[in-house]
Structure 1
Amino acid sequence: MMHESGSISINTENIFPIIKKWLYSEKDIFVRELVSNSSDAISKLKKLSTIGEADLDGDDKWQIRVVVNKEEKTMQIIDNGIGMTFEEVGKYINQIAFSGAKDFLEKYKDKTDEGQIIGHFGLGFYSSFMVSDKVQIDTLSFKKDEKAVRWVSTGGMDYEMGESDRTSRGTTITLFLSEDSLEFLDSFKVREILEKYFSFLPYEVYFDSIEEPSAQAEEAEKDKEPKELKPINDTNPLWLKNPKDCTDEEYKEFYRKVFHDFNEPLFWIHLNMDYPFNLRGILYFPKLKHEFETMEGQIKLYYNQVFVADNIKEVIPEFLMLLKGVLDCPDLPLNVSRSFLQNDGYVNKISAHITKKVADKLTSIYENDRENFNKYWDDINPFVKYGCIRETKFYDRVKDIVIYKTTNGDYVSQNEYLERNKEKHENKVLYVSDERQQAQYIKLFKDNGMEAVILSTMIDNHFISFLESKQTEIKFLRIDSDLSESLKEKEENVDEAASKELQESFEKLFKDALGNDKLKLKVESLKAVGVPGMILLDEHSRRMQEMSQRFGGFDMSHMFGNEETLVLNKNNDLIKKVINIKDKDDRKDEVKLICEHIYDLAMMSHKQLSAEAMTKFIERSNMLLTRLVEV
């Protein structure tokens, strides 16, 4: 009769706190570790059967069962895989599993970065003691004439080995849950954990909850499918199929199922590689309801169809985190540090390949389906711009397919825009950041056969600065940063002395009226006769101010200077009348009000007035209307 007892040479007082902190900060990971071991046991037996070293006698209905028993406070993980002999239990449990725990203790006892461990695989069995007072293994090897083995350990230090009453091939791990882990008797919680990690495991996973002691408890040990239970997983996920065999509806249904998003994705990329590395997956470009959702992507990483984690940036290029998708990378060394992954050439190749495939997909749509590419642009442009900034290789691949919506409502590439506007402003891309606020400027442009592109997302300020650094001959200018010559009336026989005198006269007039001796002012002859005044703001200083306010939360205009310039239109009737009355003593109060109003109107077309300025504008408007009625 076989029997063995002994102690494991590891100090649980040292190992438990470290494993809890570093490896099992997510307490439910023990479920993933144990079910993954069951999956491996089945895979090993399948392999032996394939090469003729195991006779299954037609029994190849592979399955894993997880059973919780509330009365007995147990959780069981049951498989019909390869099983173990008495000697193999001694080797794989008493030696390898516990020596692995000891190695882990030595390697990570002094680590301070909680993000060090990536996949957690490799120390699976020992995780069972994180939630259990006692762990029992009942296993029967596939080998003929072998006897079933029972292994029992309390606290992970002392163990007993002997014969088991198990009659079918495979292994059952029984966890006698500790008082601080009884939440794992909650059937909803356990089902949720199983679905989280094993929704796509290659072998069927069944879950059963035994509420009260009954004959069902005895059935739990039998490896046959319960009549009322259905597998919680899809053993053949869409990413494993050949892309040509997948329909659009299958892609959309998979997206809804995995991400619980009932908005249809715009399009997707199916990755399917066997060489030089094994990589499969599907990346979706989601339809966004508003710009801030661009930061809510989710890339789920799998390892042989077992979920590992969301958004592991060491494997997945950071800008791709704005997408949604699944990636299965069975060749990744997951039980290593993040710093190793970051510097591993193999991992870098995977990241580069994913980047290339995304760029190729975008280019293909641009070249072969430009109409839909234009429709997608409002949703995908923050992602593309962010990708260009973050990944040089991505920028190199997509720089010619970056497009812009224009104030005319169509979409153009940068080259297309420059080509059709080269006679009006060569090598300049004029843009709008707020169509409503800058409506007056847009109208001026349209009235004069000019167009601007619309750059209204949060990332655009960074993006155009990035493009200017890459293409030094191109300059981006907001529509209110300068006056194009196309907006000015050509004047002949200009009296320079008279123009200078008018300029100086208006400067003094408006500085005095506004109480601002630093005001910058220009007098121009504009084609738009209905516009009395406009505000121009230096492009560079405005960008710096906006960036400091957006990311610093405070105004740093004092550091960059106030580069606003008030442009007065001497073709406008109101300005002409101000010229006629500005020197009359009995009209000084009116002139002051008019100057203030012209300035505020120009500012309102440029940006929102402050609360104080708006209050004064309303009061002044009422005063002017009253005077108008009294005339």
Structure 2
Amino acid sequence: MSTEQKTAETEGAAPQSHAFQAEVARLLHLMVHSVYSNKDIFLRELVSNAADACERLRHAALTDPDLTRDNPDFAIRLSADKAAGRLVVSDNGIGMTREEMIENLGTIARSGTRAFMDKLGEARDGSALIGQFGVGFYSAFMVADRVEVTSRAAGAQDGWRWRSDGLGSFTVEPVAADDPDLPVRGTQVVLHLKEDAAEYAQAGTIERIVRAYSAHVPVPILLAEATPEGDAAEGGDEPKERQLADGSALWTRPKSEIGEDEYREFYGHVSGQFDAPALTLHYRAEGRHEYSVLLFLPSMKPFDLFDPDRKGRVKLYVRRVFIADDVELLPAWLRFVRGIIDSADLPLNLSREMLQHNPVLESIRKGVTNRVLSELQKLSENDAEAYGKLWETFGPVLKEGLYEDFERREKLLGLARFRSDRSGDNGWRSLADYVADMRENQTQIFYATGSGLDAIKASPHLEGFRARGVEVLYLSDPVDAFWVQVAQGFDGKPFQSVTQGAAALDGIPLKTGEASEKPGGEAEGEGADIGLVAAFLKETLGERVSDVRVSARLAESPVCLVAPENGPDRQLEKLMSRQQGAGGGAFAPVLEFNPSHTLLKRLSGALSGPGDRQHLADTALLLFDQALILDGEVPADPVAFARRLSAVMDKGF
């Protein structure tokens, strides 16, 4: 006796009521009570689910041929009944058990669900988000006030029926094997359409949607339209079926026969997105290994781009048989790529564990990854504007490869683009651009890391570089603090943080028109007593700093903090400090001061006379706290900071 039969006897024939998971209830409320400009999405999502069910059964039948022996031909059938206001979507795929029905149709067990609902609530047209977040089934309630799902799992005797009006609960009841509405195998979804959605029971509307969004799913799609009473189709009472899609695999056709609209439609099917792909790669590799590739680089960020699992979403096929959609076909730093790879060499019955270590698959992974980089290189050379948009969208992810992929680091450095003080607000600079414009005596590629572009631009560390016309790259992504630590450099020029070690600016002349090569534009004699000030600051600040020295970085600000020569960049130090918690970082910073600044000159003068030492100590501590604030941090003791500030403001020099 099957598990389903036992469960049916235990539960009895009465429908069992269940409450929707809280997130589902909220999701349904948003869908039912919001207005979307494109409700057509529901049919694409139901067809996509049906195609997935067929593909999964095709895969399962590789190890259990009896599952499809009675009906080896897969199909998706659409049935429209205008008079009854009803639309039926059915498939002969893998079907669902009672437990799967409750789990699949009553809960959302995916990361990103809450983010999806937040976006859905904010979006003017949330339909463009539905497919991305794997909640496509629930889009049926945009057009239906009641939905029934009847399903029989492949190999089972009895089936189950799920019903809901989308208002907070659903029922599940057993369906006897002889019930005429129970499919021989697979799932039937019946939508009782709302009055304002009656058009979705019209054959013309259905055909338009299928041809627009689902013409290239790998399963044939058939449409049957119920005829009015007394006007039966010729040849009998049953309506004739006509084919809307033949289930052919788009990737097997020559590129010359495929139009942009067909590519875009297939991209929508495999990605769940509505944007146009920024780049399409379609080719067949022949030689040692044969495989077909149809990949798309989106123009819009997928919702799960920064999921902690960092998994790709490229589907693996073997001789047009779907195998899996979670195999590492591309490195994690290309996880935004969508599409399929169809191998002619892999065995169909290869286990999921063996797939990850298969030499054929490893060869495919290497070849496709290099091809993606090659296509990106061509795009950067032939259409800089289009490449700039793509980099702006996915640059933070591609830069993960600079940290993780030593083998391809040089290629990725060539593809990398950066904002800088020469790029303008919307422009990009390559490392080749940077090296070509380096100043006289400049030997390093300077960069500044920070939490955002505005914070970086306002950093006092850049003042001396601007005074000398030295370009500084702005690195504002979290990954930037890591990859620059492992990258050796570019074109023989090492990377150097503007907040780490000595500034290495002494040999680079100031820009034409500057009054002097001394910090602040003044002669050395007009500045503070460097030795006196440095000694006092170091003695007063103690272990708060590892050293105090005059700065070549500063031109306008009085002080700044920099990392020691052998310590991490200041931004990396902050990230490490957050990871370590209240204990803070392990490297005390260096305090650099501008001897030409008014505050430092006055401090120098006060130190030369019989000044109030407590007042001068408060001034030194305030300078340190000011450097912390300029560096994006807060004073360690805000109360003491406020007290010192009040005392110094009250007394003055």
Instruction: State the alpha-carbon separation in 2 of the partners of residues 67 and 247 from structure 1.
Output: 29
Letter in 2 for 1:598: L
Match for residue 499 of structure 2 among 480, 486, 490: 480
Deviation at 1:185, TM superposition (A): 5.3
Letter in 2 for 1:282: L
Letter in 1 for 2:607: K
Match for residue 300 of structure 1 among 315, 318, 322: 315
- CA RMSD between the two structures: 5.6
- 1:487 and 1:513, CA in 2 relative to 1: closer, same or farther beyond 3 A? same
Instruction: State the alpha-carbon separation in 1 of the partners of residues 294 and 468 from structure 2.
Output: 51
1:413 aligns with 2:430: yes
Partner of 1:538, secondary structure, is coil
Instruction: State the alpha-carbon separation in 2 of the partners of residues 131 and 420 from structure 1.
Output: 75
Letter in 2 for 1:459: V
Instruction: State the alpha-carbon separation in 1 of the partners of residues 380 and 298 from structure 2.
Output: 15
Deviation at 1:586, TM superposition (A): 4.7
For 2:637, the equivalent position in structure 1 comes to: 612
1:343 aligns with 2:354: no
For 2:598, the equivalent position in structure 1 comes to: 573
Instruction: State the alpha-carbon separation in 1 of the partners of residues 505 and 441 from structure 2.
Output: 7
| Deviations 1:130-187 (CA, angstroms, capped at 9, x unpaired) | 57379xxxxxxxxxxxxxxxxxxxx99xxxxxxxxxxxxxxx997579xxx9xx5543
More displaced stretch, 602-611 vs 251-260: 251-260
Instruction: State the alpha-carbon separation in 2 of the partners of residues 525 and 44 from structure 1.
Output: 78
- 1:402 and 1:302, CA in 2 relative to 1: closer, same or farther beyond 3 A? same
For 1:169, the equivalent position in structure 2 comes to: none
Partner of 1:461, secondary structure, is helix
Instruction: State the alpha-carbon separation in 2 of the partners of residues 464 and 291 from structure 1.
Output: 26
Q: How does 1:359-398 map to 2 (within 5 A)?
A: 359-395=373-409, 397-398=411-412
Letter in 2 for 1:379: T
Deviation at 1:35, TM superposition (A): 6.9
Deviation at 1:569, TM superposition (A): 1.9
Instruction: State the alpha-carbon separation in 2 of the partners of residues 361 and 553 from structure 1.
Output: 41
Match for residue 286 of structure 1 among 299, 307, 331: 299
**How many percent identity over aligned positions?**
17
Deviation at 1:225, TM superposition (A): 0.5
Instruction: State the alpha-carbon separation in 2 of the partners of residues 525 and 462 from structure 1.
Output: 26
Partner of 1:280, secondary structure, is strand
Gaps of 5+ in 1: 1-10, 17-25, 46-61, 69-74, 80-125, 135-154, 157-171, 492-497
Instruction: State the alpha-carbon separation in 2 of the partners of residues 454 and 511 from structure 1.
Output: 31
For 1:99, the equivalent position in structure 2 comes to: none
More displaced stretch, 571-580 vs 374-383: 374-383
Give TM-score, length-normalised by structure 2.
0.59
For 2:247, the equivalent position in structure 1 comes to: 235
For 1:333, the equivalent position in structure 2 comes to: 347
Deviation at 1:539, TM superposition (A): 6.1
For 1:599, the equivalent position in structure 2 comes to: 624
Letter in 2 for 1:579: S
Letter in 2 for 1:346: V
| Deviations 1:327-377 (CA, angstroms, capped at 9, x unpaired) | 344654343213322332322222122112201101112232334434432
Instruction: State the alpha-carbon separation in 2 of the partners of residues 537 and 609 from structure 1.
Output: 17
Letter in 2 for 1:482: G
- 1:271 and 1:549, CA in 2 relative to 1: closer, same or farther beyond 3 A? farther
Deviation at 1:452, TM superposition (A): 0.9
Instruction: State the alpha-carbon separation in 1 of the partners of residues 53 and 311 from structure 2.
Output: 28
| Deviations 1:404-460 (CA, angstroms, capped at 9, x unpaired) | 332221544334423432634314443343443342223432222111112221222
For 2:367, the equivalent position in structure 1 comes to: 353
Contact (CA 8 Å) 1:239, 1:282: kept in 2 or not? Answer: no
For 1:545, the equivalent position in structure 2 comes to: 573
For 2:28, the equivalent position in structure 1 comes to: none
| Deviations 1:21-66 (CA, angstroms, capped at 9, x unpaired) | xxxxx99987545578799999999xxxxxxxxxxxxxxxx96648
Instruction: State the alpha-carbon separation in 2 of the partners of residues 616 and 264 from structure 1.
Output: 56
For 1:437, the equivalent position in structure 2 comes to: 455
Aligned pairs, how many?
487
Instruction: State the alpha-carbon separation in 2 of the partners of residues 479 and 76 from structure 1.
Output: 63
Gaps of 5+ in 2: 7-48, 81-88, 94-151, 161-175, 193-199, 201-209, 508-515, 519-524
Match for residue 485 of structure 2 among 461, 465, 470: 465
Partner of 2:533, secondary structure, is helix
Partner of 1:298, secondary structure, is coil
| Deviations 1:93-126 (CA, angstroms, capped at 9, x unpaired) | xxxxxxxxxxxxxxxxxxxxxxxxxxxxxxxxx9
Partner of 1:312, secondary structure, is coil
Give TM-score, length-normalised by structure 1.
0.60
Partner of 1:421, secondary structure, is coil
- 1:339 and 1:625, CA in 2 relative to 1: closer, same or farther beyond 3 A? same
Contact (CA 8 Å) 2:216, 2:249: kept in 1 or not? Answer: yes
Match for residue 607 of structure 2 among 551, 565, 582: 582
